[in-house]
Protein backbone atom coordinates (compact mmCIF):
# COMPACT_ATOMS: atom_id res chain seq x y z
CA UNK A 1 0.00 0.00 0.00
CA UNK A 2 1.33 3.35 -1.04
CA UNK A 3 2.04 5.76 1.77
CA UNK A 4 0.01 8.61 0.25
CA UNK A 5 -3.17 6.74 1.19
CA UNK A 6 -4.46 4.62 4.04
CA UNK A 7 -6.82 1.80 3.21
CA UNK A 8 -8.77 -0.61 5.40
CA UNK A 9 -11.44 -3.06 4.29
CA UNK A 10 -13.93 -4.41 6.82
CA UNK A 11 -17.49 -5.71 6.53
CA UNK A 12 -17.53 -5.01 2.78
CA UNK A 13 -16.69 -1.35 3.43
CA UNK A 14 -13.39 0.08 2.18
CA UNK A 15 -12.20 3.08 4.18
CA UNK A 16 -9.73 5.03 2.12
CA UNK A 17 -8.05 8.20 3.34
CA UNK A 18 -5.61 10.77 2.03
CA UNK A 19 -2.48 10.32 4.10
CA UNK A 20 -0.04 13.14 3.62
CA UNK A 21 -1.10 15.13 6.69
CA UNK A 22 2.07 17.24 6.72
CA UNK A 23 1.18 18.51 3.27
CA UNK A 24 -2.49 19.04 4.20
CA UNK A 25 -3.13 16.04 1.98
CA UNK A 26 -2.09 17.89 -1.15
CA UNK A 27 -1.77 15.42 -4.01
CA UNK A 28 1.58 15.06 -5.74
CA UNK A 29 1.98 13.23 -9.01
CA UNK A 30 2.47 9.90 -7.28
CA UNK A 31 -0.79 10.37 -5.35
CA UNK A 32 -2.78 10.93 -8.53
CA UNK A 33 -1.44 7.74 -10.05
CA UNK A 34 -1.98 5.78 -6.87
CA UNK A 35 -5.53 7.01 -6.47
CA UNK A 36 -6.43 5.68 -9.92
CA UNK A 37 -4.81 2.33 -9.15
CA UNK A 38 -6.67 2.04 -5.86
CA UNK A 39 -10.10 2.75 -7.29
CA UNK A 40 -9.42 0.31 -10.11
CA UNK A 41 -8.48 -2.36 -7.56
CA UNK A 42 -11.44 -1.61 -5.28
CA UNK A 43 -13.74 -1.84 -8.29
CA UNK A 44 -12.49 -5.34 -9.04
CA UNK A 45 -12.40 -6.57 -5.44
CA UNK A 46 -15.66 -8.50 -4.92
CA UNK A 47 -15.33 -8.18 -1.17
CA UNK A 48 -15.72 -4.40 -1.38
CA UNK A 49 -19.25 -3.08 -1.81
CA UNK A 50 -18.92 0.55 -0.80
CA UNK A 51 -16.09 3.05 -0.28
CA UNK A 52 -15.61 5.89 2.21
CA UNK A 53 -13.11 8.57 1.27
CA UNK A 54 -11.77 10.82 4.04
CA UNK A 55 -8.61 12.68 5.02
CA UNK A 56 -6.02 12.11 7.79
CA UNK A 57 -4.79 15.06 9.82
CA UNK A 58 -6.00 18.62 9.80
CA UNK A 59 -7.64 18.88 6.36
CA UNK A 60 -9.60 16.68 4.03
CA UNK A 61 -7.55 17.60 0.98
CA UNK A 62 -5.63 20.67 -0.16
CA UNK A 63 -5.86 19.79 -3.85
CA UNK A 64 -3.00 19.59 -6.28
CA UNK A 65 0.43 19.98 -4.83
CA UNK A 66 1.57 23.20 -6.47
CA UNK A 67 5.14 22.06 -6.91
CA UNK A 68 3.80 19.08 -8.83
CA UNK A 69 1.84 21.39 -11.02
CA UNK A 70 4.72 23.72 -11.67
CA UNK A 71 7.22 20.96 -12.42
CA UNK A 72 5.05 18.77 -14.60
CA UNK A 73 3.91 20.95 -17.41
CA UNK A 74 6.91 21.66 -19.41
CA UNK A 75 8.25 18.67 -21.23
CA UNK A 76 11.60 19.32 -22.84
CA UNK A 77 10.48 19.98 -26.37
CA UNK A 78 11.41 23.24 -28.06
CA UNK A 79 8.22 23.03 -30.11
CA UNK A 80 5.35 25.02 -28.60
CA UNK A 81 2.71 22.69 -30.04
CA UNK A 82 4.37 19.61 -28.57
CA UNK A 83 4.66 21.29 -25.19
CA UNK A 84 0.97 22.05 -25.33
CA UNK A 85 0.22 18.49 -26.38
CA UNK A 86 2.12 17.27 -23.31
CA UNK A 87 0.29 19.71 -21.11
CA UNK A 88 -2.99 18.41 -22.45
CA UNK A 89 -1.94 14.82 -21.82
CA UNK A 90 -1.05 15.80 -18.27
CA UNK A 91 -4.45 17.38 -17.67
CA UNK A 92 -6.19 14.33 -19.13
CA UNK A 93 -4.16 12.11 -16.85
CA UNK A 94 -5.37 13.92 -13.74
CA UNK A 95 -8.92 13.96 -15.12
CA UNK A 96 -8.64 10.22 -15.65
CA UNK A 97 -7.48 9.70 -12.10
CA UNK A 98 -10.62 11.38 -10.82
CA UNK A 99 -12.90 9.64 -13.31
CA UNK A 100 -11.76 6.32 -11.84
CA UNK A 101 -14.02 7.15 -8.87
CA UNK A 102 -17.02 7.01 -11.18
CA UNK A 103 -15.76 4.00 -13.08
CA UNK A 104 -15.11 1.76 -10.08
CA UNK A 105 -18.78 0.74 -10.07
CA UNK A 106 -19.23 1.01 -6.28
CA UNK A 107 -20.74 3.90 -4.31
CA UNK A 108 -18.12 6.33 -2.99
CA UNK A 109 -19.02 8.41 0.07
CA UNK A 110 -16.84 11.46 0.68
CA UNK A 111 -16.50 12.31 4.40
CA UNK A 112 -15.07 15.81 4.56
CA UNK A 113 -13.65 17.78 7.49
CA UNK A 114 -11.99 21.19 7.47
CA UNK A 115 -10.43 22.20 4.16
CA UNK A 116 -11.60 20.77 0.86
CA UNK A 117 -9.65 22.94 -1.51
CA UNK A 118 -9.10 23.18 -5.25
CA UNK A 119 -8.43 19.67 -6.51
CA UNK A 120 -10.26 18.37 -3.44
CA UNK A 121 -13.46 19.81 -4.88
CA UNK A 122 -12.78 18.15 -8.22
CA UNK A 123 -12.47 14.84 -6.40
CA UNK A 124 -15.59 15.02 -4.22
CA UNK A 125 -17.63 16.11 -7.26
CA UNK A 126 -16.96 12.67 -8.72
CA UNK A 127 -18.13 10.87 -5.57
CA UNK A 128 -21.69 9.58 -5.29
CA UNK A 129 -22.48 11.31 -2.01
CA UNK A 130 -20.83 13.94 0.11
CA UNK A 131 -21.02 14.40 3.93
CA UNK A 132 -19.11 16.85 6.10
CA UNK A 133 -18.54 18.47 9.44
CA UNK A 134 -20.02 21.82 10.38
CA UNK A 135 -16.60 23.41 10.11
CA UNK A 136 -15.72 21.89 6.76
CA UNK A 137 -15.26 24.36 3.93
CA UNK A 138 -15.19 24.08 0.16
CA UNK A 139 -13.34 26.48 -2.08
CA UNK A 140 -12.63 26.57 -5.80
CA UNK A 141 -9.16 27.86 -5.12
CA UNK A 142 -8.11 27.72 -8.77
CA UNK A 143 -9.48 31.19 -9.53
CA UNK A 144 -7.13 32.66 -6.93
CA UNK A 145 -4.22 30.85 -8.52
CA UNK A 146 -4.84 32.24 -11.98
CA UNK A 147 -6.20 28.92 -13.21
CA UNK A 148 -9.40 27.64 -14.81
CA UNK A 149 -10.33 24.57 -12.74
CA UNK A 150 -9.71 21.86 -15.26
CA UNK A 151 -9.99 18.41 -13.77
CA UNK A 152 -13.66 18.07 -13.00
CA UNK A 153 -15.04 20.88 -10.83
CA UNK A 154 -16.41 22.97 -13.70
CA UNK A 155 -17.74 19.83 -15.35
CA UNK A 156 -19.33 17.90 -12.47
CA UNK A 157 -20.18 20.43 -9.76
CA UNK A 158 -22.80 22.13 -12.00
CA UNK A 159 -24.68 18.82 -12.01
CA UNK A 160 -24.75 18.90 -8.21
CA UNK A 161 -25.53 22.45 -7.05
CA UNK A 162 -27.60 25.39 -8.31
CA UNK A 163 -25.84 27.22 -11.16
CA UNK A 164 -25.99 30.62 -9.48
CA UNK A 165 -24.04 29.42 -6.47
CA UNK A 166 -21.82 27.38 -8.75
CA UNK A 167 -20.86 30.53 -10.65
CA UNK A 168 -20.29 32.53 -7.46
CA UNK A 169 -17.99 29.87 -6.05
CA UNK A 170 -16.09 29.56 -9.32
CA UNK A 171 -15.66 33.31 -9.93
CA UNK A 172 -14.84 34.38 -6.38
CA UNK A 173 -13.25 31.33 -4.78
CA UNK A 174 -15.14 32.06 -1.58
CA UNK A 175 -15.46 29.38 1.10
CA UNK A 176 -18.73 27.50 1.57
CA UNK A 177 -19.11 25.96 5.03
CA UNK A 178 -21.02 22.88 6.20
CA UNK A 179 -24.49 24.34 6.77
CA UNK A 180 -24.54 26.27 3.49
CA UNK A 181 -23.11 23.23 1.74
CA UNK A 182 -26.14 21.26 2.88
CA UNK A 183 -28.54 24.01 1.83
CA UNK A 184 -27.21 24.15 -1.71
CA UNK A 185 -27.12 20.37 -2.13
CA UNK A 186 -23.33 20.07 -2.08
CA UNK A 187 -23.47 17.65 0.86
CA UNK A 188 -26.29 15.41 2.03
CA UNK A 189 -25.70 16.22 5.68
CA UNK A 190 -23.21 17.64 8.16
CA UNK A 191 -22.33 16.89 11.79
CA UNK A 192 -20.59 18.70 14.62
CA UNK A 193 -17.37 16.72 14.65
CA UNK A 194 -15.30 14.48 12.44
CA UNK A 195 -15.93 11.49 14.72
CA UNK A 196 -19.66 12.01 14.65
CA UNK A 197 -19.57 12.39 10.90
CA UNK A 198 -17.57 9.21 10.41
CA UNK A 199 -19.86 7.29 12.73
CA UNK A 200 -22.88 8.33 10.67
CA UNK A 201 -21.26 7.86 7.29
CA UNK A 202 -20.21 4.36 8.34
CA UNK A 203 -23.81 3.56 9.20
CA UNK A 204 -24.94 4.63 5.76
CA UNK A 205 -22.10 2.66 4.20
CA UNK A 206 -23.06 -0.47 6.14
CA UNK A 207 -26.65 -0.14 5.05
CA UNK A 208 -25.55 0.06 1.41
CA UNK A 209 -23.24 -2.91 1.98
CA UNK A 210 -26.25 -4.92 3.16
CA UNK A 211 -28.04 -4.41 -0.17
CA UNK A 212 -27.63 -6.59 -3.23
CA UNK A 213 -24.18 -5.73 -4.66
CA UNK A 214 -25.46 -6.47 -8.14
CA UNK A 215 -28.27 -3.93 -7.76
CA UNK A 216 -26.12 -1.26 -6.17
CA UNK A 217 -23.70 -1.57 -9.06
CA UNK A 218 -26.51 -1.44 -11.61
CA UNK A 219 -27.98 1.60 -9.89
CA UNK A 220 -24.66 3.47 -10.09
CA UNK A 221 -24.35 2.59 -13.76
CA UNK A 222 -27.87 3.84 -14.48
CA UNK A 223 -27.43 7.10 -12.55
CA UNK A 224 -24.24 7.89 -14.44
CA UNK A 225 -25.89 7.02 -17.73
CA UNK A 226 -28.82 9.31 -16.99
CA UNK A 227 -26.56 12.24 -16.12
CA UNK A 228 -25.43 12.44 -19.73
CA UNK A 229 -28.41 11.13 -21.72
CA UNK A 230 -32.04 12.01 -22.37
CA UNK A 231 -34.82 10.44 -20.31
CA UNK A 232 -35.98 8.28 -23.22
CA UNK A 233 -32.49 7.01 -24.02
CA UNK A 234 -32.08 6.25 -20.32
CA UNK A 235 -35.35 4.32 -20.15
CA UNK A 236 -34.35 2.26 -23.19
CA UNK A 237 -30.93 1.58 -21.75
CA UNK A 238 -32.50 0.57 -18.45
CA UNK A 239 -34.81 -1.90 -20.20
CA UNK A 240 -31.91 -3.45 -22.10
CA UNK A 241 -29.92 -3.71 -18.90
CA UNK A 242 -32.64 -5.40 -16.88
CA UNK A 243 -33.53 -7.75 -19.69
CA UNK A 244 -30.17 -9.30 -18.89
CA UNK A 245 -29.67 -8.55 -15.22
CA UNK A 246 -33.08 -8.58 -13.52
CA UNK A 247 -33.35 -12.28 -12.88
CA UNK A 248 -30.62 -12.92 -10.34
CA UNK A 249 -29.92 -14.94 -7.23
CA UNK A 250 -30.03 -11.66 -5.31
CA UNK A 251 -33.61 -11.15 -6.45
CA UNK A 252 -34.54 -14.61 -5.24
CA UNK A 253 -32.75 -14.13 -1.96
CA UNK A 254 -34.44 -10.77 -1.38
CA UNK A 255 -37.82 -12.25 -2.21
CA UNK A 256 -37.33 -15.22 0.08
CA UNK A 257 -36.02 -13.03 2.90
CA UNK A 258 -38.99 -10.73 2.53
CA UNK A 259 -41.40 -13.67 2.64
CA UNK A 260 -39.73 -15.15 5.71
CA UNK A 261 -39.30 -11.72 7.33
CA UNK A 262 -35.59 -12.34 7.76
CA UNK A 263 -32.70 -10.19 6.66
CA UNK A 264 -31.38 -10.88 3.17
CA UNK A 265 -27.77 -12.06 2.76
CA UNK A 266 -26.19 -11.41 -0.60
CA UNK A 267 -23.11 -13.09 -2.05
CA UNK A 268 -20.17 -10.97 -3.18
Residues numbered 229 to 248 that lie near its own copies (CB under 8 A) are 229-248
Interaxial angle between packed helices 249-259 and 213-227, expressed in degrees from 0 to 180 and rounded to the nearest 10: 120
The answer to whether 105 contacts its own copies (rule: CB under 8 A) is no
Identify whether 150 is a catalytic site residue: yes
Identify whether 122 is a catalytic site residue: yes
Total residues contacting its own copies by CB under 8 A comes to 103
The answer to whether 262 contacts its own copies (rule: CB under 8 A) is no
Identify whether 64 is a catalytic site residue: yes
Contact 13, 41 (CB under 8 A): no
Residues 85-104 that bind its own copies (CB under 8 A): 85, 87-88, 91-92, 95, 99
Return the closest-CA partner of residue 116 out of 177, 39, 196. 177
| One residue of 11, 172, 179, 192 binding its own copies per CB under 8 A | 172
Three-state SS letters, 203-231: HHHHHHHCCCHHHHHHHHHHHHHHHCCCH
Residues 187-206 that bind its own copies (CB under 8 A): 187-188, 204
Buried b (16+ CB within 10 A) or exposed e, 81-107: eeeeebeeebeeebeebbbbbbebbbb
Q: Cβ 55 to its own copies, closest distance in Å? A: 18
Per-residue contact track with its own copies, 12 to 51, x per CB under 8 A?
A: --------------------------------------x-
Contact 208, 107 (CB under 8 A): yes
| One residue of 70, 76, 260, 261 binding its own copies per CB under 8 A | 70
| One residue of 57, 100, 129, 177 binding its own copies per CB under 8 A | 129
Pick the catalytic residue: 51, 52, 64, 123?
64
The answer to whether 261 contacts its own copies (rule: CB under 8 A) is no
Amino acid sequence: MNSCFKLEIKNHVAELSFNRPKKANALNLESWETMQDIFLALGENPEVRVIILSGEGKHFCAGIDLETLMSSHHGDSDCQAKKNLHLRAFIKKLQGSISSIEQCGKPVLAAIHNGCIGGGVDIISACDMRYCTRGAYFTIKEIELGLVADIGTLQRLPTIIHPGIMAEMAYTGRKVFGPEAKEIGLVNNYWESKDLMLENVRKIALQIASRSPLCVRGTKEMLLYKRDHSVQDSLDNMANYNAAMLVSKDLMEAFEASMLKREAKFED
